[in-house]
Amino acid sequence: MTDSNKTFNIGISRKLLNPDMSAAIKEIDFTPLLDNARINVSCLPDVDTGELSNADVADLDAGILYLEKITKNTVASGGRLSLLARYGVGFDTLDISACTHGNVAVAIAPQGVRRPVATSVVALMLALTLNLKKKDRLTRDIPNGWNIKSDYNGLGLVGRTLGIVGFGNIGAEVARLAAPFDMQIIAFDPYVSGDSMAGLGVKAVELDDVFRKSDVVSLNCPLNDNTRHLANKERLSMMKAGSYLINTARGPVVDELALIEALQKGEIAGAGLDVFEQEPPDAANPLLTMDNVLLSPHALCFTDQCMGGLGEADIKACLAVMHGKIPDTLVNPDVAEIEAFKRKLDNYGQTYRL
């Protein structure tokens, strides 16, 4: 058996790796870790979406997480743990401040989801504006549905306005993919310059203007204290009567009760949701029965390329730290300036140099 004190120890979520060391998600290739004699791979305890304890990670150098929670109780200052890599781009299940204080870097996998999530946004936009859900039902209702098909014409996109909230990795990709539709594209992101947006043919506007002026609003921002219920009753009331809301970010970015009311009253034309405030939603949630809503179980972007790409990014982050390097995708870059963390990296670099 491998001596864990002489190896780089990586704990991997049971949602991603089975106890027999086979991939729980078949598209992930763990061989770069499993075939490396200097790496010891183990499964993390199966806590589902619960909290990992300090004892669960005490002997690890790195962890690859699914939706396990990390709190200040998990990461003890001065411990061995140096990296937590999230299988995805959301990090609201991790206490980032506690990780930084505990000298633990947190990495995400933006390249793994950039194109798949942006493609999902475009898919929802096209399906909503073309009335695809209703037309599918009309087609099956022979001959009645065929006789009334012209009552369900869609919304043409040329010259319409696409509003993007959050112009990071995914939001910018949405703009790139939407460009051929000849839409006017506007966006809000307090952390991205107007010049950067303009380089993609996008006009920077204030947040409320995104809701007021757009025919389609796409939410692509992270969930934090500033974005929780960002799409609230007030902003939803600003939207055009024939407009659509798309959320592929995190459920709580939208005030779901306010959205339900807006949809029921016809204040907006429809919504495309890949995420919910409660997941899975309650079976009595009105969204599940609405004809003007398209739904997906937080999985629309799940493709072979997405699933494999997320795993590849996390593995790359683990190997970077093992070789004394800083991963490219940290959400807490300040940790790289902490002397204790620097010493960890130096030690890894000397121990496991290529």
- Report pLDDT digits (tens) over 135-191: 999 999 999 999 999 999 999 999 999 999 999 999 999 999 999 999 999 999 999
pLDDT band at 350 (very low <50, low <70, confident <90, very high): very high
Gap between the Cα atoms of 139 and 130, Å rounded: 14
Decide if pLDDT at 98 tops 70: yes
Walk me through the domains of the chain, giving residue ranges and CATH numbers: 4-108+304-351 (3.40.50.720), 113-295 (3.40.50.720)
Residues 343-354 have a mean pLDDT of 92
- Report pLDDT digits (tens) over 42-67: 999 999 999 999 999 999 999 999 99
What pLDDT does residue 3 have? Answer: 58
Catalytic residue among 279, 312, 323, 343: 279
Catalytic residue among 86, 114, 160, 250: 250
Task: Answer yes or no: 173 catalytic.
Answer: no
Q: What's the whole-number average pLDDT of the chain?
A: 96
CA nearest to 202, candidates 240, 172, 245, 224 = 172
What pLDDT does residue 1 have? Answer: 37
Which residues does 50 contact at the CB level (< 8 Å), separation at least 6?
A: 68, 69
CB atoms within 10 A of CB 100: 22
Residues 119-130 have a mean pLDDT of 98
What pLDDT does residue 61 have? Answer: 98
Residues 94-103 have a mean pLDDT of 96
Task: Answer yes or no: 298 catalytic.
Answer: yes
Decide if pLDDT at 76 tops 90: no
- Report pLDDT digits (tens) over 181-228: 999 999 999 999 999 999 999 999 999 999 999 999 999 999 999 999
CA nearest to 238, candidates 216, 213, 257, 258 = 213
Decide if pLDDT at 2 tops 60: no
3-state secondary structure of 123: helix
Give the pair of three-digit tokens for residue 81: 């743990």
Q: Are 187 and 241 in contact (CB under 8 A)?
A: no
Gap between the Cα atoms of 132 and 272, Å rounded: 12
pLDDT band at 78 (very low <50, low <70, confident <90, very high): confident
pLDDT band at 6 (very low <50, low <70, confident <90, very high): confident
Give the pair of three-digit tokens for residue 47: 């806590």
Gap between the Cα atoms of 224 and 82, Å rounded: 24
What pLDDT does residue 4 have? Answer: 60
Gap between the Cα atoms of 183 and 159, Å rounded: 5
3-class SS string, 203-226: EECCHHHHHHHCCEEEECCCCCCC
Give the pair of three-digit tokens for residue 352: 């496991």
Give the pair of three-digit tokens for residue 86: 């999230």
Residue labelled with tokens 């991790």: 94
Task: Answer yes or no: 229 catalytic.
Answer: no
Catalytic residue among 229, 298, 312, 323: 298
- Report pLDDT digits (tens) over 292-341: 999 999 999 999 999 999 999 999 999 999 999 999 999 999 999 999 99
Gap between the Cα atoms of 305 and 113, Å rounded: 9
pLDDT over 90, % of the chain:
95
- Report pLDDT digits (tens) over 258-292: 999 999 999 999 999 999 999 999 999 999 999 99
Q: What is the DSSP letter of 268?
A: S
